[in-house]
Amino acid sequence: VNRPVETDVLIIGAGSGGKPLAGELGRAGIPTLVVEQALVGGECPYVACIPSKSMLVQGRHHVLAGPHTDAQHRAAWTQAVDVRDRTVRHRDDTHAAQVLTSDGAGLLRGRAQVQPDRSVRVGDTTIRWRRALVIATGSAVAIPSLDGLDTVPYWTSEDALSTDERPDRLLIMGGGPIGCELAQVYASFGSRVTLVQSGPQLLSREPAWLAAALAVSLGELGIDVRTSATAASVRASADGVALEVPGVGTLHADRLLVATGKTPRTAGLGLEHLDLATEGPLAVDERLRVRTTSGHVLPDVFAIGDVTAIAAYTHTANYHARTVAAHLLGSGLDADHTGIPRVVYTDPAVLCVGLTADQAAEGGIDAVTARFDARETSRSAVERTAQRTWGSPEAQRPGAVELVADRATGILIGASAIGPEADSWAAELALAVRARMRVHDLAQQLHAFPSWTEAIHPPARELAEKIGP
Ligand SMILES: Cc1cc2nc3c(=O)[nH]c(=O)nc-3n(C[C@H](O)[C@H](O)[C@H](O)COP(=O)(O)OP(=O)(O)OC[C@H]3O[C@@H](n4cnc5c(N)ncnc54)[C@H](O)[C@@H]3O)c2cc1C
């Protein structure tokens, strides 16, 4: 019988949460073992964030150099795929694994499962944790129940970001961040893309005006955006797939991409032996310790990243890793989920943070809002004049900022921005929401002239005036 392996901290999953946590604990000299069943680094560097940004950036260069013939689109696509694959190190995690072990953490490859005696099994190895078990298993693609879907081949985002195929006609189900980004990627390289969204707008939880502006931009790229369009069935056709959408008709494509969301990976892990949820997200307290199904907190079991379903982004998983490390290293900090930026890297890009006006109203907050059209900034005038001369197709790209403040306190509780590179310049708004800044103070901030950030000043000032001193 193999003797069980013992470690202070056992982490299941070496992704955006588990890997930096293992590294930080390893560097601090805490015996730490991380179990990974697939790639060290998780989905982000290989099949999610990084390849999608690589293709978006390249697609943008390609579009600006256009217009193109189909042959030119295809040649550019082949080149872009090569750059993408080099950027993601051809999905080889050797370097990531080396970084992890040189930080002092142990790595065990395999699939971890919690056992009835509170140990964890990986193949023939039994592991016991002395101080903490950290569940950092991420999320899996959620496949909707759609009549016929099990009979047709379809892509997930992972396929769409690993393939070298560029379909002539691509049908995307799901108008969330991933569906919108991948629609832009493929349309940039000449695919005819139809984006089908069941709800009344893209980005269902963000403000309707912003989603409408994004839909206009995607439309200008040639994407056929269909909202309030719920697929009823799908079947194989002679040349691909046919999606039946009541009220719209039959949509034909060479490929179908399912991008309808992700689901926390809690099933099949043996979590029932810890009295934890085996479906849906793991509930956590402010130190990211898990709550059992009966509601009490396990002092030595933590959950971080997508498996918690709290703002499923790499920056959240990184933050969770820092929070658990601080707890285990003694300088504990409570997790504060205020001000996590929600970004879509389309062009124009989207950055939203905190509450939308609708969410504030639902929460019973008396909120005031102000919106400003970024095309009124000096930067926009400079860009538009240049664009007209250089013939680039983006002169009409929208840009706008909306701020939401609590009337009672004047505190900025939410913000939404869309515009060129809004993912970067609107980050100031995430800081302001997280710092619980009053709009009066935000209105006193100096913004570099002539930068896009100047779009923040007018609505901040308008809100300060509306609210009064
Ligand atoms: C197409 C796409 C684009 C995205 N773009 C962005 C972006 O631009 N910016 C951003 O911030 N976020 C983006 N995300 C989200 C981001 O990828 C996730 O939020 C992030 O990876 C979550 O980190 P995690 O550690 O929770 O999970 P992961 O990074 O997925 O890591 C979980 C790890 O656990 C392992 N695992 C699971 N179960 C077991 C088990 N039983 N035993 C052993 N190992 C196990 C998995 O193999 C995996 O490696 C994107 C996601 C997708 C799909």
Q: Which tokens go with 32?
A: 């730490």
**How much distance in Å is there from the Cα of 148 to the middle of ligand 1?**
28
Q: Decide whether any atom of ligand 1 lies within 6 Å of the 456 Cβ.
A: no
Nearest CA to ligand 1 atom 52: 48
Q: What is the pLDDT of residue 293?
A: 95
Q: Is the CB of 50 under 6 A from ligand 1?
A: no
218 touches ligand 1 (CB under 6 Å): no
138: nearest Cα among 269, 296, 230, 325 = 269
To test the pocket of ligand 1, the residue of 19, 21, 24, 49 to mutate (highest count of ligand atoms within 8 Å of its CB) is: 49
Which region holds residue 438: left if phi is over 0, alpha if psi is between -120 and 50, else beta?
A: beta
Measured by CA distance, the residue closest to atom 33 of ligand 1 is 13
Q: What is the mean pLDDT of the chain?
A: 96
157 lines ligand 1 (CB under 6 A): yes
Measured in Å, how far apart are the chain's first and last C-alpha atoms? 73
Cα 171 → chain centroid? 21
How far apart, in whole angstroms, are the C-alpha atoms of residue 221 and residue 60?
Answer: 11
Helix (H) / strand (E) element for 102: namely helix 94-102
Ligand 1 proximity of 260 Cβ (cutoff 6 Å):
no
**What DSSP element (H or E) covers 196?**
strand 192-196
Neighbours of 79 (CB within 10 A): 12
Taking alpha carbons only, the member of 114, 133, 132 closest to residue 122 is 114
Mutate to test the pocket of ligand 1, among 16, 134, 304 (most ligand atoms within 8 A of CB): 16
Nearest ligand 1 atom to the CA of 35 is 43
Inter-residue contact 359 to 432 (CB < 8 Å): no
User: Measured from the CB, is residue 37 less than 6 Å from ligand 1?
Assistant: yes
Task: Determine if ligand 1 sits within 6 Å of the CB of residue 44.
Answer: yes
Is the shortest distance between the CB of 48 and ligand 1 below 6 Å? Answer: yes
- Spacing, Cα 334 to ligand 1 middle (Å): 23
Residue 414 to residues 117, 142, 289, 309, Cα–Cα distance (Å): 46, 29, 28, 20
C-beta of 54 in contact with ligand 1 (< 6 A): no
Q: How confident is the model at residue 392, as a pLDDT?
A: 65
Residues of the chain with pLDDT under 70: 1, 391-397
Q: What is the DSSP letter of 191?
A: -
Residue of the CA atom closest to atom 38 of ligand 1:
137
Do 219 and 208 meet the contact criterion of CB atoms below 8 Å apart? no
Among 139, 313, 340, the mutation site with the greatest number of ligand 1 atoms within 8 A of its Cβ is 313
Which tens digit of pLDDT belongs to each residue from 283-319? 999 999 999 999 999 999 999 999 999 999 999 999 9
Mapped onto helix, strand or coil, the DSSP state of residue 359 is helix
C-alpha 303/C-alpha 378 separation (Å) is 46
What whole-number distance in Å separates Cα of residue 47 and Cα of residue 170? Answer: 19
Ligand 1 lined by 313 (C-beta under 6 Å): yes
Distance from residue 172's CA to the centre of ligand 1 (Å): 21
Cα 44 to middle of ligand 1, angstroms: 6
- Please identify, by atom number, the ligand 1 atom nearest to the C-alpha of residue 111: 42
- Measured distance CA(254)–CA(249) in Å, rounded: 17
For ligand 1, mutation pick of 44, 87, 307 (most atoms within 8 Å of CB): 44
